[in-house]
Homo-oligomer: A and B are copies of this chain.
């Protein structure tokens, strides 16, 4: 089954201790699509300016990402410029130019409106709500958000929570949203307000998935060289949603595996700039890392009496 993603399509300029990239493909919609395309068909909705190097999106289209919903508007594309210091844990934003993204009003093409899996990447919760008005009874809706919306659009975000099945956010955002420092309590706070699945991402420290009666944890794969953390969270979401869409199942066991796929795809995203690594890995590479992942957390059940 296919997954619809509504998110940003940007040009990133990134500096890390290991190198520099200028005006490369970026944005939540792009990272999500590159990741999910390894698992299922993807329908991307976003906006680019008249200056966007749309020919660079061709490899995504070749991977089965339907770009019909990427609107081209007059003006500058969304640009982000950031820098990571040595610890790679937090990006320092040097410049954000929203360009055409500031007037983005997602229009879901007719043929995307019945997408069974919908991912609302990190955009204004008013727009996320607007997307939900345009789609027809999806099987699963997941959304992301960020500190900016938690501060400036809290009531819209709260309304949104009543309409989504899953919320993905990082630990800092979870604490900010819920005013609970304990993540177990934060997750329960969110579940009480709508979503039945809460995924709290902790970057290099892995991710929790909470439901009303279970908790699952997947570490981040311990890479020796994290090259550029940009997009890891969206690649995670792409792996998670892509796996669910591929299997069509939503039980606990499939969701756990979906989190493992999320973590695995996130681990590839950070190995190179932009979506470079996500675009070159193949099925065998993914399977090999899933195997390493399994070995990373495996221990035998048998315990001495």
0/1 per residue, A285-305, Cβ < 8 Å to B? 001001000111111110110
Taken residue by residue from 196 to 216, chain A's Cβ proximity to chain B (1 for < 8 Å, 0 otherwise) reads as: 000000100110100000111
Most chain B CB inside 10 Å of its own CB: which residue of A205, A246, A290: A205
CB distance from A223 to the nearest CB of B (A): 7
Tell me if B219 and A206 are in contact (CB < 8 A): yes
In the complex formed, the residue of B with least CB distance to A185 is B224
In chain A, positions 222-275 with a C-beta closer than 8 Å to chain B are 222-226, 246-247, 253, 256-257, 259-260
User: Across the interface, which residues of B come within 8 angstroms of A216, CB to CB?
Assistant: 296-299
Contacts of A294 in B (CB 8 A): 299, 301
Copies of this chain in its oligomeric complex: 2
Q: Are B215 and A87 in contact (CB under 8 A)?
A: no
Chain B positions within 8 Å of A257 at CB level: 299-300, 303
Query: Looking at A208, A294, A297, which has the most chain B CB atoms within 10 Å of its CB?
Result: A297
Whether A226 and B296, one on each chain, are in contact in the complex, defined by CB atoms closer than 8 angstroms, is: no
- Residues on the B chain within 8 Å of A223, using CB: 182, 184
Residue of B nearest to A187 (CB): B222
Shortest distance between the CB of A263 and any CB in chain B (Å): 11
Chain B residues near A287: list those with CB within 8 A.
303
**Which residue of chain B lies nearest to A210 when distances are taken between CB atoms in the complex?**
B222
Closest to A256 in B: B299
Tell me the count of chain A residues lying within 8 A, CB to CB, of chain B: 42
Chain B residues within 8 Å of A206, by CB: 205-206, 219
Whole-angstrom distance between the Cβ of A169 and the nearest chain B Cβ: 16
Q: Establish whether residues B304 and A215, one from each chain, have CB atoms under 8 Å apart when the complex forms.
A: no
CB distance from A176 to the nearest CB of B (A): 13
Query: What's the nearest-Cβ distance from chain B to residue A170, in Å?
Result: 13
The one of B87, B215, B253, B303 that contacts A296, using a Cβ cutoff of 8 Å: B215
Q: Does A217 contact B (CB under 8 A)?
A: yes
B260 engages A299 (CB within 8 Å): yes
Asked if A296 and B217 sit within 8 Å, CB to CB, the answer is yes
- List the B residue with the shortest CB-CB distance to A85: B181
List A residues 4-48 near B (Cβ within 8 Å).
none
Q: Contact between A290 and B304 (Cβ–Cβ < 8 Å)?
A: no
8 A–B pairs (Cβ distance < 8 Å), ordered by A: A86-B181, A182-B226, A184-B224, A206-B219, A208-B222, A216-B296, A218-B299, A294-B299
Q: Which 7 A-B pairs have the closest CB atoms?
A: A205-B205, A256-B299, A184-B224, A217-B219, A297-B297, A184-B222, A257-B299
